[in-house]
């Protein structure tokens, strides 16, 4: 499988005057869960449609698994699975038949289809209800079945478009958990569209942040958190003086120290720096520590900053 | 070809043939009307293939196809299952012709069952002691062809309308209006021909005239559909 598994260069798609995707350049490495993060209407779904070759770009180019999206879209769809905005299940058909249909589409032999149905439905606790009409199922069950359908023919790449959108927190967590274990078990690359920050943080090794069709940032969630703001340690207590502050400033991991009446606020250079040596230094120099709290940039904070600051 | 049969399998599973009793109501009512109610009412004349009977035999499958195909295309789009199907490797053509084939086969098959049942009922009611078939046999065969082409016309037009309709309801309403326009057009065409000309035509020639018209219209519609039934337009 080529690495990067997805490569887009200056990809754009307009619908009349609206640029749904605007000059998108990105690379998705093989074997990771890549989160495509953005608010509603950011261009995430259009990007999936473009990468699947369902619509043509107005400008730019992209390759998925080495196949050109303009010329070899059928091969992309043959070697990938997709769960689009809606589950897209046939509600009058049983769960088993829904999976069987996609097995037939991907030319899997009958025995392989049967084995695969069990293999996927058992861990999702859906096996016992495989003969039920899907229309009688809960939304969470349907979504789990739709994920199973996307993985049914063992594609090396799966596109998932907001798989937990509109779910209550418990159902979303359940789907997320099943999704994570299925993906880990199957070893596929996942292109995950989401506006759920927890989902992106929990599932994704790489994240791209998009707004109004433009890619604003890309990298691992940790790297993105570090991109904007350094971690800060707040130490509350007594006996803090200027000599102690000067000693703290000399430490290599410290970027800045603010001395406030009841506390010290220390900005660190690196997320990995430990609090222990700083506390020891304070105590050894006569300080009394009552409380320590550490603040990094939360993913939510980062996302909101990106949404506010970088107007396209 | 494999894709085509997969879509045929899917269409049968997702419709009347899914095995649920509620799905059997429509086909049973249709067969009962064509095979029992009408032959019961008009008796042995049902076998004589009058113009009125031919119209009934053609119209019922035409109407059935209309509702089936709108659900298969506009309905699937409304239920967002078509989008998922389009994101798979299955070809546009397999989807199109699979849906058309099942809708036509469903409606025409029901018409054949209705005719068969009507044959039995008419003969049982006539009490003539011997069995009679639909006659003249030539007209019967032409009627079967016309019924098939009528269903195909309905399916082709239904797909075209469904492609442009935002919802299933809109597609069905447009089809209903379209059917009305088609019927009025047929009446106007027949009226525009000098009365002597029509009278000179035999019943068989008149059916052949419609077979020709339906064939030509179907070919045109199928050409348009082949060009317009594309993923990028369906998403």
Percent over 90 (pLDDT), chain B: 69
ipTM confidence: 0.86
The angle that helices B51-70 and B137-164 make with each other, rounded to 10 degrees, is 30
Residue B69, pLDDT score: 95
Q: Using 50, 70 and 90 to split pLDDT, how confident is the model at A166?
A: confident
Q: Using 50, 70 and 90 to split pLDDT, how confident is the model at A310?
A: low
Strand, helix or coil for residue A294? strand
The two tokens of residue A192 are 């995950």
Report chain B residues whose CB lies below 8 A from the CB of A193: none
Q: Give tens-digit pLDDT for A225-248.
A: 766 567 788 899 989 999 999 999
| Those residues with Cβ within 8 angstroms of residue B47's Cβ, 6 or more apart along the chain or in another chain | B119, B122, B123, B132, B133, B134, B135
Element (H, E) at B32: helix B25-32
Q: Is B24 on the interface with A (CB under 8 A)?
A: no
Whole-prediction pTM value?
0.82
Q: What are the counts of helices (DSSP H) followed by strands (DSSP E) for chain B?
A: 12, 0
Q: Give tens-digit pLDDT for B166-198.
A: 999 999 999 999 999 988 998 898 888 887 877
DSSP B103: H
Report chain B residues whose CB lies below 8 A from the CB of A84: 80, 83-84, 87
Over the Cα atoms of chain B, what is R_g? Answer: 19
Question: Bridge partners of A159?
Answer: A82, A191
Query: Is the pLDDT reported for residue A311 higher than 60?
Result: no
The two tokens of residue B6 are 């997969």
Q: Give tens-digit pLDDT for A94-140.
A: 999 999 999 999 999 999 999 999 999 998 889 999 999 999 999 88
Lowest mean pLDDT among A29-43, B18-32, B79-93, B165-179: B18-32
- Which site among B12, B84, B234 would you substitute to test the A interface, given the most A Cβ atoms closer than 10 Å to its Cβ? B84
| Those residues with Cβ within 8 angstroms of residue B211's Cβ, 6 or more apart along the chain or in another chain | B142, B145, B146, B149
Q: Are strands A189-194 and A33-37 parallel, antiparallel or unpaired?
A: parallel
Q: Using 50, 70 and 90 to split pLDDT, how confident is the model at B51?
A: confident
Q: Verify whether the Cβ–Cβ distance B80 to A85 is below 8 Å.
A: yes
Report chain A residues whose CB lies below 8 A from the CB of B15: 92
Residue A2, pLDDT score: 78
């Amino acid at each position: 499988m080529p690495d990067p598994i997805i490569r887009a260069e200056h990809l754009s798609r307009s619908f009349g005057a609206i640029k749904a995707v605007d000059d998108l350049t990105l690379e998705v490495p093989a074997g990771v869960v890549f989160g495509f993060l953005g608010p509603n209407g950011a261009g995430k779904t259009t990007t999936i449609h473009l990468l699947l070759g369902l619509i043509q770009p107005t400008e730019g180019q992209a390759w998925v698994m080495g196949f050109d999206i303009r010329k070899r879209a059928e091969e992309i769809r043959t070697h990938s699975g997709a769960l689009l905005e809606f589950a897209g299940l046939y509600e009058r058909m049983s769960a088993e038949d829904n999976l069987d249909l996609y097995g037939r589409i991907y030319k899997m032999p009958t025995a392989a289809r049967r084995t695969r149905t069990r293999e996927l439905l058992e861990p999702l606790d859906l096996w016992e209800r495989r003969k039920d009409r899907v229309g009688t199922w809960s939304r969470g069950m349907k979504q789990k079945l739709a994920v199973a359908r996307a993985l049914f023919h063992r594609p090396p790449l799966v596109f998932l478009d907001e798989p937990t959108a509109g779910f209550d927190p418990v159902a979303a967590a359940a789907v997320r958990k099943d999704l994570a274990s299925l993906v880990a078990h199957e070893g596929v690359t996942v292109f995950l569209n989401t506006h759920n920050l927890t989902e992106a943080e929990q599932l994704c090794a790489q994240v791209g942040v998009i707004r109004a069709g433009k890619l604003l940032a890309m990298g691992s969630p940790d790297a993105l958190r570090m991109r904007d703001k350094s971690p800060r340690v707040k130490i509350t207590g007594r006996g803090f003086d200027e000599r102690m502050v000067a000693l703290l400033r000399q430490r290599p991991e410290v970027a800045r120290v603010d001395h406030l009446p009841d506390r010290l606020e220390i900005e660190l250079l690196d997320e990995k720096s430990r609090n222990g040596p700083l506390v020891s230094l304070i105590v050894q120099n006569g300080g009394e520590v009552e409380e320590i709290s550490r603040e990094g940039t939360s993913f939510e904070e980062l996302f909101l900053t990106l949404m506010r600051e970088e107007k396209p | 070809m494999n894709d085509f049969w997969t879509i045929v399998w899917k269409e049968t599973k997702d419709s009347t043939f899914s095995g649920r009793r509620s799905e059997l109501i429509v086909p049973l009512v249709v067969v009962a009307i064509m095979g029992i109610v009408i032959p019961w009412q008009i008796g042995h004349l049902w076998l004589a293939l009058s113009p009125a009977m031919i119209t009934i035999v053609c119209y019922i499958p035409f109407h059935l196809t209309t509702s089936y195909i709108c659900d298969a295309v506009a309905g699937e789009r409304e239920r967002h299952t078509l989008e998922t199907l389009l994101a798979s490797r299955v070809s546009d053509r397999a989807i199109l012709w699979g849906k058309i084939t099942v809708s036509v086969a469903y409606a025409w098959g029901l018409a054949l069952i209705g005719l068969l049942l009507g044959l039995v009922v008419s003969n049982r009611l006539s009490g003539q002691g011997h069995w009679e078939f639909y006659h003249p046999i030539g007209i019967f065969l032409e009627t079967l062809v016309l019924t098939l082409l009528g269903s195909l016309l309905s399916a082709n037009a239904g797909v075209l309308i469904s492609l442009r309709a935002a919802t299933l309801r809109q597609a069905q309403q447009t089809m209903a209006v379209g059917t009305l326009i088609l019927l009025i057009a047929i009446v106007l065409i027949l009226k525009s021909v000098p009365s002597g000309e029509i009278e000179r035509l035999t019943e068989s020639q008149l059916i052949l005239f419609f077979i020709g018209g339906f064939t030509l219209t179907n070919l045109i519609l199928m050409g348009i559909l082949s060009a317009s039934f594309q993923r990028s337009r369906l998403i």
